[in-house]
Amino acid sequence: MSTTTTESKQKRASSNAPTPGLEVKGPAVSKQMLDGAQALVKGLEREGVEYIWGLSGGAAIPIFDAIVTTGTKIKLVLVRHEQGATHIADGYARVTGRPGVVLVTSGPGATNTVTGILTAHMDSVPMVVLTGQTISPMLGKDAFQEADVFGITMPVVKHSYLVKKTNDIPRIVKEAFHISNTGRPGPVLIDIPKDISSAPCTAELDPPMDLPGYNPVIPVDKARVMAIAEALRKAKRPVLLAGHGVLISRAWDSLRRLAETLQAPVTTTLLGKGAFPENHPLSLGMLGMHGTAYANKAMVECDLVMSIGSRYDDRIIGQAPKFCKDAVRIHIDIDAAEINKMIRVHHWCVGDAGEILDELTQHVQRLDTNDWLNHLNGYKKKFPLKYKKYGGLKMQYILDELDKLTGCNAIISTDVGQHQMWSAQFNKTTRPDGWLSSGGAGTMGYGFPAAIGAQFAKPKDQVWAVVGDGGFQMTMCELATAALHKLPVKVLVLNNHYLGMVRQWQELFFDNRESGVNLEGNPDFAKLAECYPGAKGFTLKRGADIRKILKRAMDYNDGPSVINAEVEKADNVYPMIPAGRAIEDMILEAPKYKMEKPTGST
């Protein structure tokens, strides 16, 4: 059970040098001198935390104070809205593979994190959220700034704690980080009443964990791997479907070895972008609702599909009963609850993607896929992603140029909507940490703060936030955070003055009746950026200026830049599989007849 993990974790922790603050005072003295909040900060130090993103408030003052009194090296970054803190932590976590840490106060401070927690939960992102809480005697009495955050967040966390005893803090912090970033990662919330964080902490600072119900280490089931290898041997038209799990498991090299050994094509989900280089000859790019035609056609025609670390979600499978219905379906996932959830599979293996792929690669040889690959290459030639360079300024044109200028080597963080899908299509991801997007939750306002988090994690890398005018306005207050920390995040606002994806649906399925989609009254985003000291604003209106303006933003590295790109107002994203329809129903261009209303939700 979890004792093995506990022991190994303890060994690792005890082999580390003691935390600097403690070394001087000696453990016995420091124990007496610490309060709960200081013990909390010591716990964060032990976990190797570099940054805390937060916004202060009454119930969290002892914790903010402890950041000062402990003299910790952890850097506190004051954000402008708590949602921003969670998305920044999320972006940092996706790029580094380490949990992002958020610190906020009780009540509204805590509830403002809910969207960010949901976003992390849906996309399996490790995050630890610390929330202040009213003093324990006042719990449940509607005290000022009291909210039942433990209850409110319960459905969107991997686990959560309401701390009742100060001496539990060191253990809880240790458990929170362990839970957050092992197995299938996710957000963990620790709600800390102010009297608990203020009281003296006399507990051992590196206590054993107490998690008898949690065992994230799953040994590879070799019999299951052999069954998968056997199925692969018989396949003539296999497709490997790589999801976020490949990235979380850091299994991109293992995946590549398997794909190259088999000579099997690889498609990725939106969140799997980066799991397999999109400029590789075996890459089919992204599949799904707005995926490439060739990836989706491959799903229709394949005789075997093997998902590695994706959850066969509704954006991918379209209509569950029709999805790869005649193919052998295989699922590799670390979460047993994902197996047979969306579709029934013939073979599956639960565990770490990298370990399973490495074991599997030992038992397979090159498949006879020449005909299949030639066939798919034919589709690539026949149905390429395309757009018109002339006429109105197209988002696709800008993104295509961005891809060329950055040599697909930048980190791209997107918001949600049309620009997100076009960016997924045209910004080829070749590095495992090169793509950040809110996939499961589809959170507008994610892109810009997540880019800030990525920039904190990789100060020297080029980070682009590709956002729409709708989503950007939800979290653009973090321009202050980016400017203050001189982060050279480049924000590309693809401004069509619309909530474009909804407008597209209204055009296609609701007789073009626009309702609640017109963003009249947008500010001039370039001018707005210039209001923040150190931030630069650019305006892009013509195709001829794309390269020039993108380069100017690339050359400015003393703070954030915002490009306000005035793009064509009413363009539509294709290919498209209407929600709830089968992949076979994919349309490649504007339909000539009125389409039925989709049966799927969105």
Partner 1 sequence: MTTSIANPHIAQSTGNHTISVYVTNKPGVLARIAQVFARRGYNIESLVVSPAMDGQFSRMTIGLSGNPEGMEQIIKQTSKLIDVLRCVDHTDEDAVTKELALVKIGAGAGQRAEVLQIGEHFGCKTVDLTDTSMILQCTGNSEKIDALIGMLGKFRIIELVRTGKVLMARGDGLT
Closest CB 213 distance from partner 1, rounded Å: 4
The residue among 248, 551, 578, 281 whose CA lies nearest residue 428 is 281
Name the residue nearer to partner 1 (CB basis): 33 or 337: 337
Closest CB 271 distance from partner 1, rounded Å: 20
Which member of 145, 341, 510, 595 is catalytic? 145
Please report whether residue 510 would count as binding partner 1 according to CB under 8 A: no
Closest CB 41 distance from partner 1, rounded Å: 24
Q: Which stretch binds partner 1 (CB under 8 A): 332-340, 381-389, 392-400, 521-529?
A: 332-340
Question: Are 106 and 145 a contacting pair, CB within 8 Å?
Answer: yes
Which member of 289, 306, 476, 501 is catalytic? 501
Dihedral Cα 196, 129, 188, 444, nearest 10 deg = 150
Q: Which stretch binds partner 1 (CB under 8 A): 211-219, 388-396, 440-448, 528-536?
A: 211-219
260 is catalytic: no
145 is catalytic: yes
- Taking the C-alpha atoms of residue 200 and residue 194, their distance in angstroms, rounded to an integer, is 12
Strands (E) across 437-530 are located at: 463-468, 490-495
Quote the DSSP letter at residue 35.
B
Please report whether residue 106 would count as binding partner 1 according to CB under 8 A: no
Name the residue nearer to partner 1 (CB basis): 341 or 547: 341
Q: What angle do CA 120, 123, 129 make, to 5 degrees?
A: 15
Residues 6+ apart with CB under 8 A from 76: 51, 52, 54, 64, 67, 103
Which member of 144, 382, 527, 551 is catalytic? 144
Cβ atoms < 10 Å from Cβ of 392: 14
Residues 6+ apart with CB under 8 A from 162: 133, 150, 191, 193
Please report whether residue 248 would count as binding partner 1 according to CB under 8 A: no
Closest CB 550 distance from partner 1, rounded Å: 45
Q: Which stretch binds partner 1 (CB under 8 A): 138-146, 234-242, 330-338, 382-390?
A: 330-338
Please report whether residue 71 would count as binding partner 1 according to CB under 8 A: no
Name the residue nearer to partner 1 (CB basis): 245 or 445: 245
Name the residue nearer to partner 1 (CB basis): 151 or 391: 151
Helix ranges restricted to H, 249-382: 252-262, 293-301, 314-317, 353-361, 370-382
Q: Which stretch binds partner 1 (CB under 8 A): 337-345, 432-440, 445-453, 509-517?
A: 337-345
Q: Which two tokens stand for residue 153?
A: 């967040």
> Quick one: CA dihedral 240, 243, 249, 253, positive or negative?
positive
Quote the DSSP letter at residue 540.
E
Binding mask 181-210 toward partner 1 (x if CB under 8 A, else -) reads -----------------------------x
Please report whether residue 212 would count as binding partner 1 according to CB under 8 A: yes
Q: Coil, helix or strand for 52?
A: strand
Binding mask 165-184 toward partner 1 (x if CB under 8 A, else -) reads --------------x-----
Closest CB 342 distance from partner 1, rounded Å: 10
Closest CB 48 distance from partner 1, rounded Å: 22
82 is catalytic: yes
Name the residue nearer to partner 1 (CB basis): 165 or 458: 165
Binding mask 344-363 toward partner 1 (x if CB under 8 A, else -) reads xxx-----------------
Q: Which of residues 134-163 bind partner 1 (CB under 8 A)?
A: 150-151, 154-155, 158-160, 162
Q: What angle do CA 475, 477, 480 make, to 5 degrees?
A: 135
Name the residue nearer to partner 1 (CB basis): 83 or 180: 180
Q: Is 250 left (phi over 0), alpha (psi -120 to 50) or beta?
A: left
Which member of 9, 194, 380, 394 is catalytic? 194
Which residue's entry shows tokens 């090169």? 434
Number of chain positions touching partner 1 (CB under 8 A): 26
Return the bridge partners of 436, or none.
413
Which residue's entry shows tokens 């458990």? 175
Name the residue nearer to partner 1 (CB basis): 1 or 13: 1
Question: Are 560 and 490 a contacting pair, CB within 8 Å?
Answer: yes
Closest CB 336 distance from partner 1, rounded Å: 5
Could you check whether the bond before residue 18 is cis, i.e. omega within 30 degrees of 0? Answer: no
Q: Which two tokens stand for residue 467?
A: 């956002």
501 is catalytic: yes
Q: Which two tokens stand for residue 91?
A: 């972006």
Name the residue nearer to partner 1 (CB basis): 25 or 346: 346
Name the residue nearer to partner 1 (CB basis): 1 or 588: 1
Please report whether residue 322 would count as binding partner 1 according to CB under 8 A: no
Quote the DSSP letter at residue 196.
H
- The helix-helix angle for 82-96 and 114-122 (nearest 10°) equals 20
Q: Which of 341, 375, 458, 552 binds partner 1 (CB under 8 A)?
A: 341
Please report whether residue 312 would count as binding partner 1 according to CB under 8 A: no
539-552 as b/e, with b when 16 or more CB fall inside 10 Å?
Answer: bbeebeebeebbeb
194 is catalytic: yes
Residues 6+ apart with CB under 8 A from 602: 442, 579
Query: Would you please indicate which residues are annotated as catalytic (active-site) residues?
Result: 82, 144-145, 194, 501
Give residues in contact with partner 1 (CB under 8 A): 150-151, 154-155, 158-160, 162, 164, 179, 210-214, 326, 329, 335-337, 339-341, 344-346
